[in-house]
Structure 1
Amino acid sequence: MNLILDFFLVTGVVINAIILVQLLRIKKKALSQKILLVLFSLLFCVALYFYALLHNITWLAKLCFLPNDMTIITLAPLLLLYVKSLFLDEKSLVKNHLKHFTPAVLFALSITIPTMIFNSYHSNALAYTHSNIVRFIIRTENIYFLLYLTISLRFLLKHQKLSKYEYSNLTKYDLNWIKVMLLSALSIIGLDLALKVYESILGDFSWNADFLSVLAMIILVSYLGFYGINQSKVLLPSFLLQNDTKSKSNKAENKMLSAEKKQEFEHLKHKLISTLNTNHPYLDEDLTLGKLAQQISTTDKTLSTMLNQYMKTTFYDLINTYRVEAVKKKIKSDRYNNYNLFGIACECGFKSRTSFNRIFKKETGLSPSEFKNSKS
């Protein structure tokens, strides 16, 4: 068992070190990358700490004790800040988020640092202090992390939905890997909490159950490192964020449009449809709300409002409906008999095979291959 643990811990240390080097090599770091640098530094210390415990390296365990002890309570708001940094403007984001780290500071001053001082006078005090005095706090710490992960996940889902109002293709901005990462972290903390509850009811395991959580963390770190270093920044227009915060209060108001507003939107709708049918802007795989608004001589805010309130659709859905129709026409054409389906999709503005298949089936009820065979 110790050999397996040793292998995974060494692997975790090496992976963390590689990721940290990659992040340090980035000259102009975005806020999200700076947050990752702090996050992986903490996880690096955690892997080192458990390696030291496994091999009874006292000086290394003492060196890494502070960051290890504070990792969960610090990572909770840090992950939320990371997710927010991918969508929101960096200005004042950290300053406005500092209050979320208050529990971590209080935990360090009241628990971690006193434990370190006490342990410096009593060689076996560290294990004793954490197994008796702080056990309840450690379980609460996990619940605290679960709460923050849930908040982070809700924030991510809401802003992914908003991104459909701005982008016609989400491939470049696809942040499903963060959703997987957050859900995986939820599972790991849930496992860790369940093990601690089990220990408190039925007694300690014959082995350190914390190692299971650390092994799961190492796997998660590898996943986060692979996708996180080169993640895409998704900056949403401020009016989308403002409209989202006011959507509940304005819901009833949005249902009733004045006659003047309806006339204005009807004119804009005809202009939009004429542009779509004549200039085929949807064939541009990088088409955005702003680009389309320029083509019909309006603002992205006005176009977004017209689509949402008058046409009852989103920019993403509208553009991809036209793309699907373009694909259907090409499939029916003999000229494209030698093209594969994804090749046709790319010519019609799609960038991802997965999103193309999903959107096509949603629009037609058939997969692209089923549609092609039905027309044979």
Structure 2
Amino acid sequence: MNLILDFFLVSGIVIIAIVLLRLLRIKQKELPQKILIVFFLLLFFVSIYFYASLHNIIWLIRLTFLPNDITIITLGPLLFLYVKSLFLKEDSLVKNTLVHFIPTFFFAFGITIPTILFNNFKIDELAYTHTNFIRSIIRIENLYFILYLIISLRLLSKYRKLTKYKYSNLKKYDFNWIKIMLLSALGIIIIDIGLKIYEFFFGDFQWNVDNISVLAMIILVSYLAYYGVNQSKVLLPSFLLVNEVDEPEINKKKKNTLSSEKKEEFEKMKNKLELIIKTEQPYLNEDLTLGKLAEQLSTTDKKLSTMLNQYLNTTFYDLINKYRVEAVKDKINLDSYKNYNLFGIASECGFKSRTSFNRIFKKETGLSPSDFKKSIS
């Protein structure tokens, strides 16, 4: 088991070091990349600490004990801040979020550093399992991490819904990998707690629980390194964040309560939108955004979004992709497209992702693209 653990630890250290070097070489770092640097630094020290413990390298254990000890209580707020940083402007974001790291400060100066000082770096006591109070703190630390993972998942779900109100293609902004990462981290910490409870009631587990968690963490780090470094930032308009997106039923009620002046304004905007869509076909642009379409309408993205949401009871994403599906249906049997496969036609009509195209087409027509083609042949 030690040989396997040694291999994974060394591999993890190398992977993290490569990712850190890659991040540090980026000249103009955005906030998500800065957060990832802190994230990978912490995990680098954790990996080094466990490697040192495995080989009983005393000086290295002493050197990495502090960052290793505060990692669990820091990762929760750090992941929370990372999710927010992908969608929100950097202005005031850090200042408003630093309060979440206060427990890290108290944990470090109230528990970790005193433990190091008062035990004079006695390695067998650095795990500070000698008091019930400390054990209680560790349990709270794990629950604190779980709480932040759940909050981050809810926040991610909210922001992913809001992207449909700005973008017509979500391939670059598919944050499903973050959801998988957060759920995996949640699973790891729950399993870790479960195994420790098992040890408490039934005695030592066959393998060291902490080592199992570290192996899982290294796999998770590799996953994050693959997706996270190049993740595009999505800036959501402030009006979408201030005004929660309403459900369709609420939108229908809002439409009925709109003033006659507002209805008249929205009707004119709708007619102008339909004319532009018919004559200029902006939906064929795979990178079309709410802002770009609003410019063509000589209005603001806020007004356009409000009209779509409250008056037409739809989202920008759904509206544009509805027209893209219609364009595919029109082209699918044309002689000029007979040498194109279905996704080739879809790409000509503004779709970026095969998966999204298949899903949206079936949602609009009730048939898969291939079944639809057969039905009209």
* Alpha-carbon distance change, 254 to 192 in structure 1, aligned in 2, over 3 angstroms: farther
Q: AA paired with 1:329?
A: D
Q: Give SS of 1:271's match.
A: helix
Q: TM-score, normalised by structure 1?
A: 0.95
Q: TM-score, normalised by structure 2?
A: 0.95
Match of 2:163 in 1: 163
Measure, in 1, the Cα distance between the counterparts of 2:157 and 2:271: 33
1:353 and 2:349 are equivalent in the alignment: no
* Alpha-carbon distance change, 92 to 162 in structure 1, aligned in 2, over 3 angstroms: same
Q: Give SS of 2:165's match.
A: coil
Measure, in 2, the Cα distance between the counterparts of 1:127 and 1:239: 49
Match of 2:371 in 1: 370
Match of 1:74 in 2: 74
Match of 1:231 in 2: 231
The alpha carbon displacement at 1:184 in A equals 1.0
The alpha carbon displacement at 1:285 in A equals 0.5
**Equivalent residues in 2 for 1:301-320, closer than 5 Å:** 301-320=302-321
Contact 1:149 1:182 in 2 (8 A): yes
* Alpha-carbon distance change, 279 to 130 in structure 1, aligned in 2, over 3 angstroms: farther
Measure, in 2, the Cα distance between the counterparts of 1:365 and 1:253: 29
Contact 2:255 2:311 in 1 (8 A): no
Measure, in 1, the Cα distance between the counterparts of 2:130 and 2:20: 30
The alpha carbon displacement at 1:334 in A equals 2.7
Q: How many residues align?
A: 375
Between 4-13 and 108-117, report the one with greater CA deviation: 108-117
The alpha carbon displacement at 1:215 in A equals 0.4
Contact 2:58 2:123 in 1 (8 A): no
CA deviations over 1:90-142 (Å, ceiling 9, x no partner): 01111111110011111112211121123316453224536855222222211
Structure 2 gap ranges (5+) = none
Measure, in 1, the Cα distance between the counterparts of 2:130 and 2:41: 23
Between 121-130 and 173-182, report the one with greater CA deviation: 121-130
Match of 1:18 in 2: 18
Contact 2:52 2:58 in 1 (8 A): yes
Contact 1:281 1:292 in 2 (8 A): yes
Measure, in 1, the Cα distance between the counterparts of 2:206 and 2:164: 51
Q: Give SS of 1:134's match.
A: helix
Measure, in 1, the Cα distance between the counterparts of 2:81 and 2:207: 35
Measure, in 1, the Cα distance between the counterparts of 2:208 and 2:257: 62
Measure, in 1, the Cα distance between the counterparts of 2:107 and 2:206: 29
Contact 2:168 2:286 in 1 (8 A): yes
Q: AA paired with 2:158?
A: K
* Alpha-carbon distance change, 337 to 130 in structure 1, aligned in 2, over 3 angstroms: farther
Contact 1:118 1:125 in 2 (8 A): no
Q: AA paired with 2:18?
A: I
Between 253-262 and 22-31, report the one with greater CA deviation: 253-262
Q: AA paired with 2:264?
A: Q
Measure, in 1, the Cα distance between the counterparts of 2:322 and 2:71: 46
Measure, in 1, the Cα distance between the counterparts of 2:306 and 2:122: 67
The alpha carbon displacement at 1:207 in A equals 3.5
Match of 2:43 in 1: 43
* Alpha-carbon distance change, 253 to 308 in structure 1, aligned in 2, over 3 angstroms: closer
Measure, in 2, the Cα distance between the counterparts of 1:283 and 1:153: 33
1:288 and 2:289 are equivalent in the alignment: yes
**Equivalent residues in 2 for 1:1-376, closer than 5 Å:** 1-120=1-120, 122-127=122-127, 129=129, 133-244=133-244, 255-376=256-377
Contact 2:168 2:287 in 1 (8 A): yes
Q: Give SS of 1:291's match.
A: helix
